[in-house]
Structure 1
Amino acid sequence: MHITYAAAMEAAPDSTNEDRFAIGDGWALVLDGAGRYPGKPGGCIHPVSWIVERLTAHLSSGLAQPESPLTAIVRSAIEATMADHGSACDLSDPLSPGATGAVVRFGKDQVEWLVLGDCAAIIDQGIDGCTSIVDDRVDRLPNAPVVEGRVRTYLPEYVATVRNQPEGFWVLGAVPAAADHALVGSLPRGSVDQVLLCSDGVSRLTERYEWTWREVLDLHETSGPAALIRAVRDAERGDPDPRRWRGKLHDDATVVVLRAGKPRVSSESRSV
């Protein structure tokens, strides 16, 4: 069996890319840095990109051990990343930077996935349709106060009370228990055609701009991953009222697609 992956990665204009992805033998992951709030140190001296890179490395190491459950791999990766910090970092600060993430693993009999935070995993079962696994808890916080600054965002003092909390939302970074609150699932391997993982810089096509996930998959099928990034940027530039959304006008955008069977996408793909 061939496992095909395609990845496109492009920083948001005028910013540092805090997305990361990794691909191995039958697995893939996408991470999206969960950064600091303006004027808030967040307890840690490291840049968000450093934290995302450490999480990526530790997750990749764990995914190379196919017998380990995904939640255990994520917990261990968080613990290892925490150990990488020095004494100058206060990881008890609830605003410590971290990441959201999506992971998929093709096993002998099952396809497993794990999603935590606002990344997404789209499971394509061909004629049986596709299923989106999107952790939207950060968008369903009751009466969350929004600050109208350079971008619309939640009040940091409020986020400190709900991040990595049972009635709030969860991210990777400094709380190992977050792994136990991830969205997880599996399907028989033979029922899955392909799996798309992406950061929210890509999923905003469906969340903001009324695309269906089938349209996203079809565009990737015909034109490859870079076309999805271009579609996002075109939609953002054509948005008549971008201030109606919480978050940035442009965000880092990363997409990875693993396909069971013969590769059918563009030259930006390769088989493993």
Structure 2
Amino acid sequence: MRIEIATEPAYADRPNEDFVAASPNAVVLLDGAGTPAGSDSGCVHGVAWYVSRLGVSLLAEVTNRPDEPLADCLAKAITQTAELHRDTCDLSHPGTPSATVIITRLREHDIEYLVLADSSLVLDRSDKPAYVTITDDREAQVGAELRRPMDAEATGTQAHAEALCTYVEAMRAHRNRSGGFWVAAADPAAAHEAMTGTFTRDKVSGFSLFSDGASRLVDRFTLSDWTETLTLIRDHGPAEVIRQVRAAEHSDPDGKRWPRGKAHDDATVATVTL
């Protein structure tokens, strides 16, 4: 396989809380989540630390245990990461660092996948339909009503910051519980709530993994559809997707056209050609 990766933090002076890595038969992409600035998370390390440790552990599990179900690999990686800071941090805190997860693993005849929370996996098929998108939208469904007060305020204002904190607090009540949504945090049980499946390799010409900071070109800004985005990647590479996302964000700094929690977000695209 041939893999191309593009990743960019939301701001040059802040750490990138996305993580992406690959081995000869696997790709993992994580998108970290924590608390708004000034809020307590119970963790002294921060989101970027958590995501990098979880990502490294996860890629090792997926690669070194090729016959282990992906959900079991994720559960083990969550457990291993929790053990790294259980003695220093309050892992029961509702704001403990967490992450969305995408895993893809190539086998002789199949492509295995796992998707947990709101990052997106898009498969470029060699027959009809031209592509298949796999996104865990449970968080978006839960947040649709809760985010309305935040979306009514201009991004970057004090009113928006306060509404964002209220929204995050409200979402915590639904995180990692039945009827809500699931993310990788400190409880390995969340791994078994992920979307999993397989595709036959000879029906897929390639696939791309998007953190939600990159997929917003399609699913929030609606400036492109997935067919156009896959063509954009083929013609210009994954960095062009991020460039267009940044151009859109800068054209709407106060979030009036596209209401959003973050004016800019970490953005990552990994694309694999088979």
Shared fold by TM > 0.5? yes
Partner of 1:215: 228
8 Å CA contact 1:95–1:159 kept in 2: the answer is no
1:155 counterpart SS class: helix
Deviation, structure 1 residue 126: 2.7
Deviation, structure 1 residue 38: 3.6
Deviations along 1:25-55, one digit per CA (max 9) or x if unpaired, are 1210111111213443122111111100110
Partner of 2:96: 96
Partner of 2:153: none
Distance 1:47 1:180 in 2: 25
* Residue from 225, 229, 236 that aligns with 2:238: 225
Partner of 1:259: 273
Partner of 2:175: 163
Letter in 1 for 2:139: V
Letter in 1 for 2:111: V
Partner of 1:106: 106
Distance 1:190 1:198 in 2: 23
Partner of 1:183: 195
Comparing 151-160 with 186-195, greater Cα deviation is found at: 151-160
Distance 2:168 2:39 in 1: 8
RMSD of aligned residue pairs (Cα, Å): 1.8
- Identify if the C-alpha distance between structure 1 residues 227 and 195 changes in structure 2 by more than 3 Å, giving closer, same or farther: same
Deviation, structure 1 residue 231: 1.1
8 Å CA contact 1:151–1:246 kept in 2: the answer is no
When normalised by structure 1's length, the TM-score is 0.89
Distance 2:60 2:97 in 1: 22
8 Å CA contact 2:5–2:270 kept in 1: the answer is yes
1:9 counterpart SS class: strand
Which structure's residues are more often helix, by fraction? Answer: 2
Are 1:140 and 2:151 counterparts? no
- Percent identity over the alignment is 38
How many residues are aligned here?
A: 258
Comparing 241-250 with 182-191, greater Cα deviation is found at: 241-250
Distance 1:39 1:191 in 2: 48
Partner of 2:49: 50
Deviation, structure 1 residue 232: 0.9
8 Å CA contact 1:81–1:173 kept in 2: the answer is no
1:150 counterpart SS class: helix
Letter in 1 for 2:68: S
8 Å CA contact 2:253–2:263 kept in 1: the answer is no
8 Å CA contact 1:152–1:245 kept in 2: the answer is no
Distance 1:43 1:240 in 2: 31
- Identify if the C-alpha distance between structure 1 residues 227 and 85 changes in structure 2 by more than 3 Å, giving closer, same or farther: same
Comparing 36-45 with 157-166, greater Cα deviation is found at: 36-45
Letter in 2 for 1:17: N
Distance 2:145 2:210 in 1: 28
* Residue from 160, 177, 196 that aligns with 1:149: 160
Gaps of 5+ in 2: 151-158
Deviation, structure 1 residue 124: 1.1
2:105 counterpart SS class: strand
8 Å CA contact 2:254–2:263 kept in 1: the answer is no
Gaps of 5+ in 1: 261-272
8 Å CA contact 2:117–2:138 kept in 1: the answer is yes
When normalised by structure 2's length, the TM-score is 0.88
Distance 2:19 2:124 in 1: 23
Deviation, structure 1 residue 114: 0.8
Distance 2:248 2:172 in 1: 32
Deviation, structure 1 residue 86: 3.9
Distance 2:101 2:10 in 1: 18
Letter in 1 for 2:239: A
Letter in 1 for 2:16: N
Partner of 1:84: 84
Are 1:25 and 2:24 counterparts? yes
Deviation, structure 1 residue 152: 5.6
Distance 1:238 1:144 in 2: 26
Deviation, structure 1 residue 178: 0.7
Letter in 2 for 1:186: T
Partner of 1:264: none
Distance 1:59 1:252 in 2: 20
Partner of 1:121: 121
